[in-house]
Amino acid sequence: MSSDRLMRIHSPEFRAMAERVLEVTELTSRLNALPFADEGGKTDLFEKILGRPLPARVTIYPPFYTDHGLHLDLAERVFINQNCTFLDYAGIRLGERVMVGPKATFITVGHPVDPEERRGWLSGAPIDVADNVWIGAGATILPGVSIGRDAVVAAGAVVADDVPAASLVTGDKATVHRRW
């Protein structure tokens, strides 16, 4: 999934994704059980998870979670704190010098809102985070969001819309928009 689109559950594409999820879950389980000082073990597992070596000066503190790994694009000098989750099947890009606080969650896939379609389809859209962005602790970034250069996402914020460059976004209040 590279942009806004739907994938039928029980399709060959879905089965391939599900197999990768199981493989990466095993790899992240092993990563998160390593002693913190085992740099060689972490390097090896991150290369298997991402399908390539970590870029220069990227720091990731375990525990670390991803469901796919191959669509997680990290630039140089990215910092990811503990307990972060990256559901990256539709693609996540973090620009240079992005800082991610503990327990932040990036989600690129979901299900349609329509109850009839919900169990039969996955929807998805990529997340793009520009250079020098700070994502606060416990923030949730939803599918299709772009975050502009130098922006700050406050701790606990739920980001469903694009964030302009050099801005601060806050908020976690859910709002009822319609009822079935």
- Catalytic site includes residue 10: no
Considering 10, 68, 111, 177, which one is annotated as catalytic?
111
Burial class, 93, CB count within 10 angstroms (exposed 0-12 / middle 13-18 / buried 19+): middle
Helix, strand, or coil (residue 141): strand
**Dihedral sign, CA of 28, 68, 134, 44?**
positive
Q: Is the peptide bond before 12 cis (omega within 30 degrees of 0)?
A: no
Q: How many CB atoms lie within 10 A of CB 37?
A: 8
Q: How many CB atoms lie within 10 A of CB 4?
A: 12
Tell me which residues are annotated as active site: 111
